[in-house]
A and B are shown apart, each in its own frame.
Chain A
Amino acid sequence: DAGVTQSPTHLIKTRGQQVTLRCSPKSGHDTVSWYQQALGQGPQFIFQYYEEEERQRGNFPDRFSGHQFPNYSSELNVNALLLGDSALYLCASSFTWNTEAFFGQGTRLTVV
Chain B
Amino acid sequence: GENVEQHPSTLSVQEGDSAVIKCTYSDSASNYFPWYKQELGKRPQLIIDIRSNVGEKKDQRIAVTLNKTAKHFSLHITETQPEDSAVYFCAAIPSGDTNAGKSTFGDGTTLTVKP
- Give A residues with C-beta under 8 Å from B: 4, 31, 33, 35, 40-45, 48, 55-59, 90, 97-98, 100-106
Q: A100-B46, A103-B43 are in contact. Are A45 and B107 (CB under 8 A)?
A: no
A contact residues around B106 at 8 Å (CB):
42
Least CB distance from B25 to A in Å reads: 13
* Stretch from B62-70, B73-81, B95-103 at the A interface: B95-103
A contact residues around B31 at 8 Å (CB):
98
Contact B101 A103 (CB under 8 A): no
Q: Report the Cα distance A98→B31, complex, angstroms.
A: 9
Contact A97 B93 (CB under 8 A): yes
Contact B100 A98 (CB under 8 A): yes
| A45 (CB) vs chain B CBs: closest residue | B103
Interface centre among A31, A44, A90, A97 (most CB of B within 10 A): A97
| Known pairs A41-B107, A103-B44 / 17 extra A-B pairs, C-beta < 8 Å | A31-B101, A33-B103, A40-B107, A42-B4, A42-B107, A42-B108, A43-B89, A56-B99, A56-B100, A57-B102, A58-B102, A59-B1, A97-B100, A98-B93, A100-B46, A102-B46, A104-B43
Contact A45 B102 (CB under 8 A): yes
B contact residues around A100 at 8 Å (CB):
34, 46, 49
Q: A45-B102, A98-B32, A100-B49 are in contact. Are A90 and B43 (CB under 8 A)?
A: yes
